[in-house]
Amino acid sequence: MNVYDSEAMARVLAPMGYELTAHKKNADCLLLNTCAIRAKAEQKVFSYLGRLTGLKGNNPDLLIGVGGCVAQQEAKKIFDRAPHVDFVFGPHAINRLPEIVAQAEQGKRHAAATEFLDSFEEITQPLLDKADQEQSGVSAFVTIMSGCDNYCTYCVVPHVRGREMSRASQAILAEVESLAAKGVKEITLLGQNVNSYGNKEGFGSFAELLGLVHEVEGVERIRFTTSHPKDLSQELIQAFAELPKLCKHIHLPVQSGSNRILKKMNRGYTREDYLGKVCALREACPEIRLTTDIIAGFPSETEEDFQDTMDLIRQADYDSLFAFMYSDRPLAPAVKFPGKLSEEVKGRRLAQVLEVSEEIARAKHAAMIGSKQQVLVEGRSVQNPEQWRGRTGGHVTVNFLAPACGGLVGKQVDVLIENGYSNSLSGKLWTEDGDCPKPPTEESHAA
């Protein structure tokens, strides 16, 4: 979501003549897009801001702005602790950036744009008006809703991103069509809880929206994130069986395997409800890849509660997971909950979750050795530029060797998997006889 918002910031400032630079010291305006989801992310913002002080000394005209959820939550603290920051703006103020930056250019200092707006269109227009936007790349995010109404007790999101609001399906389709026309092959639909898409507005269900996006010519893969388990409908589960372009992967954050803790978290489901939905997903789509988020050490979590989580991880047989130590967020109710655990206990539980998940992921990836996987090629491998990089439909990164003839980016190719690691796979381009094709000759290059 923050990647999407950062791209939007660059886009709205382009008409003012601002363009991206890779080097801070060349910048006329530095924007820091921040995340407040956990305490660590927020601490990073303040230490980073500290390091920027010197830059202003070298370039007194430099403008520094802080956007995103820390800006929304901590505008005053930012100006107090980092007075060299010129302005702050929350997630609802991205489309007002040109006006905010223009005022800062005129010398206005310490402006804070943190009001919440009332409709999706107000927040995002002309942000999403991307008709003339350059889009290069294989994959693109398309935002379908903003905010969240779930109020999980540990979570800051409803307090910094505002109420849940969905975007009209015609606008979503228009954006998807325009991206497909520019060559984008993979669309990821974004929202805090896509499963409740359109409920308030009466826009039709999320599964219906997927059906519409599926019709768009040129789109080859559809993904979405994030799904709340309580709102995962049978209709959506069925979509995995019925829509071939829908990637067979679902990120379904469970957070805990203990019913007592799930209740305290206000998650709205039990472990039995959750595991029932996992069964239904696997029944509808046996090859589906399942990933999740886990919070280790929520206030009052006992060893028994934690063992319920470990047990659920094994039962759900996740392909991969993200795990975090619980951290207090000032605006979230759990900050006042009794039974806070020490960093040591939280750290030990986190390590256990990561250990078991890595073990499962390694075994699953090892079992894929020798298989043929369809990979959408995104570019050259980051670690080894001789290799190509892409993802399976299940969202596993694959690095592979292929003749260096170019032209693979944006194509779906078959790869023979030769190695499995905890976070990725590697192999070579598949050929019928299982051999990697020879590097191209001069003639085949010309052809």
- Write the DSSP symbol of residue 274: H
How many residues sit close enough to ligand 5AD to count as binding (CB under 6 A)?
Answer: 12
CA dist 401 and 388 (Å) reads 6
321 makes contact with ligand SF4 (CB under 6 A): no
Q: According to CB under 6 A, which one of 63, 117, 128, 157 is a site residue for ligand SF4? A: 157
**Min dist. Cβ of residue 116 to ligand SF4 (A):** 16
CA dist 226 and 240 (Å) reads 15
Choose among ligand 5AD, ligand SF4, none what residue 256 binds, the Cβ cut-off being 5 to 8 Å by kind.
Answer: none
Buried b (16+ CB within 10 A) or exposed e, 206-223: bbbbbbebbebeebbbbb
3-state secondary structure of 361: helix
How long a stretch of residues is the chain? 447
Sole window of 95-103, 155-163, 174-182, 439-447 interacting with ligand SF4 (rule: CB under 6 A): 155-163
Choose among ligand 5AD, ligand SF4, none what residue 422 binds, the Cβ cut-off being 5 to 8 Å by kind.
Answer: none
Q: According to CB under 6 A, which one of 124, 169, 327, 392 is a site residue for ligand 5AD? A: 327
Conformational region of residue 436, where left means phi above 0, alpha means psi within -120 to 50, and beta covers everything else: beta
- β pairing state of 388-392 and 139-143: unpaired
Which residues within the stretch 247-266 sit at the binding site for ligand 5AD (CB under 6 A)?
A: 253, 255
**Min dist. Cβ of residue 227 to ligand SF4 (A):** 10
Q: According to CB under 6 A, which one of 11, 167, 228, 249 is a site residue for ligand SF4? A: 228
Name the helix (H) or strand (E) containing 93. none
Sole window of 148-156, 209-217, 355-363, 397-405 interacting with ligand SF4 (rule: CB under 6 A): 148-156
Q: Is 247 annotated as a binding residue?
A: no
**Min dist. Cβ of residue 384 to ligand 5AD (A):** 31
Which residues within the stretch 32-51 sit at the binding site for ligand 5AD (CB under 6 A)?
A: 37-38
Residue 313, CB half-sphere, CA atoms under 13 Å: how many? 28
C-beta of 196 vs 392, nearer to ligand SF4: 196
Choose among ligand 5AD, ligand SF4, none what residue 150 binds, the Cβ cut-off being 5 to 8 Å by kind.
Answer: ligand SF4
CA dist 285 and 104 (Å) reads 53
Q: In this structure, which amino acid lies at residue 186?
A: E
- Cα dihedral sign for 217, 218, 222, 224? negative
48 makes contact with ligand SF4 (CB under 6 A): no
Q: Is 155 annotated as a binding residue?
A: yes
352 makes contact with ligand SF4 (CB under 6 A): no
| Rg of the chain taking only CA atoms, in angstroms | 23
Task: Check: CB of residue 227 under 8 Å from CB of residue 271.
Answer: no
Q: According to CB under 6 A, which one of 203, 306, 326, 388 is a site residue for ligand 5AD? A: 326
Which residues within the stretch 190-219 sit at the binding site for ligand SF4 (CB under 6 A)?
A: 192-193
Q: Is 69 annotated as a binding residue?
A: no
Choose among ligand SF4, ligand 5AD, none what residue 158 binds, the Cβ cut-off being 5 to 8 Å by kind.
Answer: ligand SF4
Which strands, in side-by-side order, build the sheet including 87-89? Answer: 29-34, 63-67, 87-89, 111-113
- Write the DSSP symbol of residue 377: E
329 makes contact with ligand 5AD (CB under 6 A): yes
293 makes contact with ligand 5AD (CB under 6 A): yes
CA dist 248 and 288 (Å) reads 5
Q: In this structure, which amino acid lies at residue 284?
A: A
What is the binding site for ligand 5AD (CB under 6 A)? 37-38, 154-155, 253, 255, 293, 295, 324, 326-327, 329
What is the binding site for ligand SF4 (CB under 6 A)? 148, 150-152, 155, 157-158, 192-193, 228
Residue ranges for the binding site for [4Fe-4S] cluster? 148, 152, 155
